[in-house]
Structure 1
Amino acid sequence: MESTLAFPLLSFPSRPAAGEALASALASRVAEAHKAGRRARIALSGGSSPEPAYRAFAALDLNWSQIDIALVDDRWVSTDNPGSNQAMIERAFGAATGVTIHGLVRPTLSARQAEADINAIMAELRPFDAIVLGMGPDAHTASWFPGSPDLAACLNPDTRASVIGVDAGQAPVALPYRERMTMTLPCVCEAGHVLLLLFGDDKKAILESAVTAPITQAPIRAAIEAAGPRFVTFWAS
């Protein structure tokens, strides 16, 4: 079935093919940054779906010592917790010798207490060359959850914050990890490329519905609208 989306949705015959295409797209952004004589800056989302794509990216012959990788969001847990996005990213990039990974979690502080420290780091990294998003079954992306008391702050187009600590306890799909750190809408959508990796016919249908749903019910719509033509989806059934 042909997509009804107004932004690019690239369809692939398999999930590995979609992941490899995403890896290639990220490599192109890295090459552009290095050609311009600067470090490349990429931000990645967690979850189980993108890990093979990240491994494919990490296996490429790149100057990893000149690449910074940040996280779009993370659960407020240590890296020995199975819910840690940072742990997954570090595992996926084990072959990328010299890469710098910037985590969002601090071991002795709450998410809100760590905001100033992490915002100072993010200020040095922004704007990112590319950001990879995912999407949950409730049309959330990053840690922008429907029903969260912090959703408005996450999506405030005028905020100067790169990240904020959020309470996602009102979102069933977020539990049991209610405390999180997430990038804000301006930090995500000023990136040169905003890439969504999406698998399954059900997720595609959710995405198609999200473009006309209220943003409070489908927060990913905020990213779609703010990024405009820079928002590209890599999809496979």
Structure 2
Amino acid sequence: MVEEKFFPDRERLIQALAHDCACDLQKGIKERGQASFLVSGGSTPEPVYRELSKRPLPWARINVALVDERWVDKSESGSNHAFIEDCLLQNCAAAAPFLGMKTPHATAAEGEADCERAYGELPRPFDVCVLGMGNDGHTASLFPHAEGLQAALDPASAKLCSAITAKQSAVTGKHTERMTLTLAGILQARDIKLLITGDEKLKVYREALLDSDELTMPVRSILKQGLKPVTVYWAP
């Protein structure tokens, strides 16, 4: 159930992914009067969000929510909340309601219950979930061998959100404490879009397809779940 959409350059990828997201969100609005759009941080999706922000969609009826977050305040470096406000919630999309994950609690574990309640109020099924992938095979904040990973990867879990403590690496940086959608939460999306660019990540993606060890490469939990369609977007 993995479809590959590979493009010769990033500009064509950006336009195609923005178009596909817009169509899926409009479909949700047509069917239910509102839609839910789950978004990841990172430099790779940034131009897609900037392009989408200019699309004249009924943004006031599109609920934008984070896929994951570093446990930092919005004013701190690395905040996905601030990133999405800056690159997506602009132009036409400034009208969209937005749900972040960071709560006032000192730790992600303490904030998990409040985050769970808030996400439980989002319209479901979620219409679109945009995911990225790191060179270590993580997606969302589902990091290899992280504390809390095994429970977060349980597809039968009733939880949408989970506190995660990653093993510090060059990929995680100093912010190892995270909040993330669980696999079960991601699987409540009707359409999962995995965005990767560059030859190195293409190699990691192909490696992920060859084995089933999800704790080593958590992106496998998305690629091999077999319940919801996944579209992989790639450009050099």
TM-score, normalization by structure 1: 0.93
CA pair 190-226 structure 1, distance change in 2 beyond 3 A: farther
Shift of 1:89: 0.5
Q: Is 2:25 the counterpart of 1:30?
A: yes
Q: Is 2:79 the counterpart of 1:84?
A: yes
Distance in 1, matches of 2:86 and 2:226, equals: 29
For residues 38-117 of structure 1, the aligned pairs below 5 Å read 38-92=33-87, 93-95=89-91, 96-117=93-114
Distance in 2, matches of 1:100 and 1:20, equals: 24
Shift of 1:109: 3.2
Distance in 1, matches of 2:33 and 2:108, equals: 31
Contact 1:147 1:171 in 2 (8 A): no
Three-state SS of the structure 2 residue aligned to 1:47 is coil
Which residue pairs with 1:222 in the alignment?
221
CA RMSD in angstroms, aligned pairs only:
1.4
Shift of 1:80: 1.5
Letter in 2 for 1:183: L
Letter in 2 for 1:167: T
Distance in 2, matches of 1:157 and 1:14, equals: 35
Shift of 1:216: 1.4
Which residue pairs with 2:141 in the alignment?
143
CA pair 227-89 structure 1, distance change in 2 beyond 3 A: farther
Letter in 2 for 1:98: A
Shift of 1:169: 3.1
Overall identity of the aligned pairs, in %: 36
Letter in 2 for 1:232: T
Shift of 1:94: 1.5
Which residue pairs with 1:3 in the alignment?
none
Distance in 2, matches of 1:104 and 1:161, equals: 14
Shift of 1:57: 0.8
Three-state SS of the structure 2 residue aligned to 1:97 is helix
Number of equivalences: 232
Q: Could you report, residue by residue, the CA deviation over 1:56-82 in whole angstroms, capped at 9, with x for unpaired residues?
A: 111101111101011100101111222
Distance in 2, matches of 1:233 and 1:21, equals: 12
Distance in 1, matches of 2:154 and 2:28, equals: 28
Task: Provide structure 1 residue ranges, at least 5 long, that are not aligned to the other structure.
Answer: 1-5
Task: Provide structure 2 residue ranges, at least 5 long, that are not aligned to the other structure.
Answer: none
Shift of 1:130: 0.8
